[in-house]
Amino acid sequence: MTEPTGATTIPVGDDYDVVIGSGVLDRVGDLLGGDVERVLVVHPPTLPELTARVSTALEARGYAVHVAEVPDAEGAKTGAVAAELWGRLGRAGFTRTDSVVGVGGGTVTDLAGFVAASWLRGVRVVQVPTTLLGMVDAAVGGKTGINTTEGKNLVGAFHPPSGVLCDVDVLATLPRDDLVAGLAEVVKCGFIADPVILDLIESAVADDVDRARSAANPHLRELIERAVRVKAEVVAADLRESSLREILNYGHTFGHAIEQVEHYTWRHGEAVSVGMVYVAELARLTGHLTGPEGDALVSRHRSVLESLGLPTAYAGGRWDELLTAMRRDKKSRGSTLRFVVLDALASPTRLAGPDDTLLQAAYGLVSRRSGVPPH
């Protein structure tokens, strides 16, 4: 639904709305609702101006605003930082009807959501994602969490936000590589559910990603709205990842393995990009994608992702490490490896326990000769 103000509101079931627009940051107070008196604004050190705008808008609405700067990127998602924030909430007397607001990328929204989920067994959180990945993925859906020394996202909770506010203008300062990595999740939504996303990228975005980043460009906003709609529909039907939500993991099993093997030096979206080509090849090898149409769909994975500058191949000679990492992945059930594959465009299905020789053959089709850099 497009409002008279030009913002678009996408409901996530009956639970909450995602508001997407240009210049909408000052409306953050509209999403708090209820009897909120105190608000803790959590933000990274990189966004002082955006944080000040959010805080000022909240103060103007009469809220008692407390501001907490946390370390940047994954440095925010630790038990020590969460404990520090619990201390802030305790000292400021936050009650069950108060709220947390997360302003930042997926790391901040994951942390802010987790702190809100655990304070007094759950208080409101409003998410203000400032990266493309945050807008189309991390801030929508209610998965929150922090890392431990043993691994990423091992501690967390399902805690849907009270609202999500995406101001596309803030993306103008996002580093280009972060924008491109976020586009990988947008492309994923195109393959699993909304092919118009792919058409739009092929016709209007791929030729000039820098222009696409400009807030004045309507295509980026449409891509965000379409990707959020896909995620909203899936999570509204399945909050806890029991079945339908699994389709959002398209490309993620192999992608997570790359992230692990590379010790998280690859951006998530870059790893998922290769992961999507891997499962497209796996779908062909296992008979899910067949004939010239199947071949064309596999090629389209490579062409769309490469047109955005995303990687579609990985170094050769690392199969054993990748397979070990995939088996460890928490998305596999027991010892059976599970993948989401396509039967056709926008027709995802599950593939459980494919033959090891096919898994390795798919790797052969996405691996580069050793010695050639992966990007």
Interface with ligand NAD (CB under 6 A) = 44, 46-47, 72-74, 77, 104-108, 110, 130-131, 133-134, 137-138, 141, 143, 153, 170, 173-174, 178
Residue 94: both structure tokens together:
């936050």
Closest CB 330 distance from ligand NAD, rounded Å:
12
Number of H helices, E strands in the chain: 13, 13
Q: Is 84 marked active-site?
A: no
**Shortest distance in whole angstroms from residue 173 CB to ligand NAD:** 4
Q: 12 or 359: whose CB is closer to ligand NAD? A: 12
Complex with ligand NAD: residue 106 or 160, whichever CB lies closer: 106
DSSP characters over 22-45: SS-GGGGGGGT-TT--EEEEEE-T
Which residue among the candidates 188, 249, 301, 302 is catalytic per the annotation?
Answer: 249
Of 221 and 302, the one with the shorter C-beta distance to ligand NAD is: 221
CA-CA-CA-CA torsion sign (231, 233, 238, 239): positive
217 is catalytic: no
Among 139, 136, 161, 345, smallest CA distance to 225 is for 136
252 in active site: yes
Is 241 considered catalytic here? Answer: yes
Nearer to ligand NAD, 174 or 342 (CB): 174
Please confirm, yes or no, whether 202 is among the known catalytic residues: no
Task: Tell me which of 91, 121, 263, 375 is the catalytic residue.
Answer: 121
For ligand NAD, the closer of residues 180 and 337 by Cβ is 180
Query: Is 231 labeled as catalytic in the residue annotation?
Result: yes
- The owner of tokens 């690859």 is 266
Decide if 239 contacts 161 (C-beta within 8 A): no
Q: In angstroms, what is the minimal distance from the CB of 118 to ligand NAD?
A: 15
- Respond yes or no: is residue 121 known to be catalytic: yes
Say how far apart CA 214 and CA 230 lie, in whole Å: 23
Q: Is 268 known to be catalytic?
A: yes
For the bound state, the minimum distance from the C-beta of residue 245 to ligand NAD, rounded and expressed in Å, comes to 10
Q: Which of 256, 267, 318, 338 is catalytic?
A: 256
CA pair distance 360, 257, nearest whole angstrom: 14
Catalytic residue among 43, 124, 231, 302: 231
Cα–Cα dist 254/1, whole Å: 36
Give pairs for 214-223: CB < 8 Å, separation 24+: 214/172, 215/22, 215/168, 215/169, 215/171, 215/172, 220/168, 220/171, 221/20, 221/22, 221/168, 223/183, 223/186, 223/197
Catalytic residue status for 91: no
> Of 43, 53, 124, 143, which is the active-site residue?
143
Give me the active site residues, please.
Answer: 121, 143, 185, 231, 241, 245, 249, 252, 256, 268
